[in-house]
Amino acid sequence: MDIKTLNIDESAKLNAQAWLDGAYDEATKQAIRDMAETNPQELNESFYRHLEFGTGGLRGIMGVGTNRMNKYTVAMATQGLANYVKKVNSGEKELRAAVSHDSRNHSREFAEITAHVLAANGYKVFLFDGMRPTPELSFAVRHFKCHTGVMVTASHNPKEYNGYKAYWSDGCQLTAPHDEAVIDEVLKIKSVADVKMTGGEQNITIIGEEVDKAFLARVEANSLNLELIRKHHDVKIVYTPLHGTGITLIPRMLKQLGFTNVNVVEAQAVPDGNFPTTPSPNPEEKPAMKMAVDLAKEIDADIVFASDPDADRVGVAVKRPDGEWMLLNGNQTMSVLFYYIVKQWQEKQMLTGNEFMVKTIVTSELPADIATRAGIKIYDVLTGFKFIGAKILELEGVEQFIAGGEESYGYMIGDFVRDKDAVAACSMIAEIAAWAREQGKTFFDVLVDIYREYGFYKEGLVSVVRKGKSGAEEIQQMMRDYRSNPPAEIDGEKVVCIKDYQTHESKDLTTGKVTKLDLPKSNVLQFFTDKGNKVTVRPSGTEPKIKFYFSVKADLCCKGSFDTTNAALDAKIESIKKSMKLV
């Protein structure tokens, strides 16, 4: 079949023909011919555009085509990255890069291609001998004083996907101005002919155990109560890596800390890019946690946690007083982590007044309340963990970072990693379980203690989908309307403060005072009420939707009132949705 005669997008025809005529392998060309013959629509989807290298790198469905994750799109992206890093560091005698990957299908292949392209461009490359968690890649970038790094992963996306996260010399994912500048360089790479694919193999160093030991030593140094762990070493832990990289380090780290009763979900312990035991390898979702919770019920465990395929996110389940298991959301886990860390720093008299913690603007205000009451500075950053890393770099040598996190199940403890870190987070969560037992409590009891002391915070989210060009225009009009005619009240509560991250202004509606927001420009609005509730409005950067984040608060008198207060807060969120005409 002649591609030129197919009823598909003209750009798809041109891109597919360029691959048929170019220096691509015969198997790839045959796959293009097969699609043209049997599935023109798939050919259209695979070639109608070039897979976008966004500010976080690449992410897409695996397969043949310019709009797919494959060895050629990975190689071209790496060439663009190599060109930019070389341009910025033109005076350096030796450029260095670290490369790792997760358990997904083709991840090892893509990591090796990345390493070879970098090596062919003269880089000294440190390539892990097998899959490793994302936080260890971030650590390795700084450990080897690299100029850049790449983690091949699609995080918790479905099995059809793979991706590619690019890192800067500080071990953080690319931030301004490097993120946009790298995109510009990647766009200049038009075909595989522009890529240095071979030569320089001697520049690749395989790394493994020695880096594992160095990384785990830093995680162990995070511990705030090793004596307590030894005393309660038999805390019953259930852990699942969801077929991902967490199996390489998390059970080992728990053992190194002294925990002796770690029960791994064996059916999910085998690395497998098909994720056969769960519909989605995302610990934010109940089905992904089911096997771990079932095991916890069977053995009467104390705590359950799961890491996603690249082991940067953590999901947690805790046992309630009635014996049922409850999944914590990201805000709850982050609040317990902050609370425990702050309590320990206070008790050990480690606070000097120069410490800080970081959260994202859509995260609950509870972690901020915990930090502020302890005299610890709290910084808000835009959504995306790279902004937490950027804040650490900004304040390095000036203030001491303690911990950071975001509502989407990502946490960082200590600054030796500059990305979400499930290895450190799981270790600290296990330590908190031991600390709770020392007091005759459970992890759930600790959460209740926090709510009693600081208020019961509850969060909700609504995503309003508006597809197509008209939908995108409607979303932008909604944002314009909220700016030109902001709500004076939300569900009967007076709006007392509006933060506009596009104009960089925070306006106190009670006094009229306007202060500047020291954050990058972003199309986000926040409304704060006189009752301490918050609504954040933010168009998605990757999907045709506008997101509404809700955070509400009430007093909690005692553990016995948890369920009724929780239900009342759920009802409050529903009432806010109705008042804003979102349901």
Write out the catalytic residue numbers.
Answer: 155
Q: Please count the CA atoms within 13 angstroms of the CA of 413 that sit on its side-chain side.
A: 26
CA proximity to 185, closest of 106, 275, 83: 83
Q: Write out the two tokens for 475.
A: 């979303």
Q: What is the DSSP string of 210-241?
A: HHHHHHHHHHHHT-S-HHHHHHTTT--EEEE-
Q: Which residues contact 14 (CB under 8 A, 6 or more apart)?
A: none
CA distance 81 to 222: 33
- Eight-class DSSP state of 417: -
Evaluate whether 53 touches 183 at the Cβ level (below 8 Å): yes
Evaluate whether 423 touches 249 at the Cβ level (below 8 Å): yes
Q: Write out the two tokens for 361.
A: 């603007």
Distance, CA of 44 to chain centre:
31
What does residue 317 show for φ and ψ, rounded to 5 degrees? -125, 140
Q: Which residues contact 389 (CB under 8 A, 6 or more apart)?
A: 170, 171, 172, 173, 175, 418, 419
Q: Does residue 429 sit in helix, strand or coil?
A: helix
Terminal-to-terminal C-alpha distance of the chain: 50
CA distance 22 to 12: 15
Give the Cβ contact number of residue 453 at 10 Å: 12
Q: Does residue 64 sit in helix, strand or coil?
A: coil
Indicate the length of the chain as a whole number. Answer: 583
Evaluate whether 47 touches 29 at the Cβ level (below 8 Å): no
CA distance 456 to 450: 8
CA distance 550 to 83: 43
CA distance 493 to 509: 13
Q: Which residues contact 32 (CB under 8 A, 6 or more apart)?
A: 3, 16, 19, 20, 43, 64, 65
